[in-house]
Structure 1
Amino acid sequence: MSRLDSMLRRLSAQRDGLNWAAAQTAGQPGDALDLGLGNGRTYDHLREILPQRRIWVIDRALNCHPSCIPPAEDFLEGEAEPMLARLAEQGAQIVLAHYDFGFGVKDQDVAEAARLSPHLARVMAPGGLIVSGQPLAGFTPLTGPDSIAPDRYLFYRA
């Protein structure tokens, strides 16, 4: 598979997974969380499909497209662990999270996801869903939408 086809497959899986998770959590109280703003595409999609929810964003730096800058009060800039601790201290209850941190080196990305999993668990509402590009630890794995190939994107319940 070409890198272009692989990217298109990943982006389609991401969109389908987020849409699925939004439908699954409709009516549940809580906020959303985008872990890894990047250029803001996912955040922009979350704003569209979750207009009624506050969307927290965590990233090391604000480097997104100007149209995708989150409100200052919802953007936590810095390393994920202290930012998740800050959310937990504020009593955040996340009903839908998207985990998209990574260095682009699979072993490092998997290790970071495992290390951050307990910190993410502290902010998740009971029964909340996590859509992730990396394997997470300590959550209940779910089968996502049929349109997504197994292991292309991962789904968890808190």
Structure 2
Amino acid sequence: MSRLDSMLRRLSAQRDGLNWAAAQIADQPGEVLDMGLGNGRTYDHLREILPDRRIRVMDRVLACHPSCTPPEEDFLLGEAEPMLQHLAAEGVQVILAHYDFGRGIKKDDVAEAARLSPLIAKIMAPGALLVSGQPLVGFEQISGPDTIAKDRYLFYRA
């Protein structure tokens, strides 16, 4: 599979997974958290499919397209550990989280996801969903939509 085909498959899986998760949590209270703003495409999609939800975003840098810049009060700038600790101290309850941290080195990205998992767990509401490009630990892995190949994108329940 070419890198272009792989990227298209990943982006389709991400979109289908987020749409599926948004429908699953429609009647449940809680905030949404996008971990890894990047250029803002995912955040922009979350705003479209969850217009009435507060969506917080975190990243090491603010480097997104100007149309995808979150409001200042919803953007957490810096390393993930202190940002997650801040949310936990605030008592934030997340009903849907999207995990998209990574630098493209699989071994390092998997280790970071495992290290951050306990901090993520502290802010997740009971029964909340996590949609992730990396394996997370300490959550119940569940099946996502049938349109996504197994292990292309991962789905968890808190």
Report the TM-score range of the alignment, normalised by the length of the smaller protein: over 0.9
For residue 77 of structure 1, report the CA deviation from its aligned partner.
Answer: 0.2
Secondary structure class of the residue paired with 1:7: helix
Q: For 1:18-29, list aligned pairs within 5 A.
A: 18-29=18-29
CA distance in 2, matches of 1:82, 1:104: 22
TM norm structure 2: 1.00
Cross-structure match for 2:34: 34
Deviation at residue 41 of structure 1 after TM alignment: 0.1
Offset at residue 34 of structure 1 (A): 0.1
Q: How does 1:6-155 map to 2 (within 5 A)?
A: 6-155=6-155
CA distance in 2, matches of 1:58, 1:116: 13
Please give the per-residue CA displacement for 1:111-136, whole angstroms capped at 9, x wherever unaligned.
Answer: 00000000000000000000000000
TM-score (norm 1): 1.00
Unaligned runs of 5+ in 2: none
* 1:21 Cα offset (Å): 0.2
Gaps of 5+ in 1: none
RMSD: 0.3
SS class of match (2:84):
helix
Q: For residue 27 of structure 1, report the CA deviation from its aligned partner.
A: 0.8
The SS at the match of 1:130 is strand
* SS class of match (2:116): helix
CA distance in 1, matches of 2:118, 2:20: 24
**What's the offset of the Cα at 1:90?**
0.5
Deviations 1:57-108 (A, max 9, x none): 0100100000000000000000001000000111100000000000100000
- Aligned residue identity for 2:147: S
**Equivalent-residue separation in structure 1 for 2:136 and 2:28 (angstroms):** 23
SS in structure 1 of the partner of residue 97 of structure 2? strand
Aligned length: 158
The Cα shift of 1:38 comes to 0.1
Distance, in Å, in 2 between the alignment partners of 1:72 and 1:31 is 16
CA distance in 1, matches of 2:3, 2:103: 17
The one-letter code of the counterpart of 2:92 is: A
Residue aligned with 1:145, SS: coil
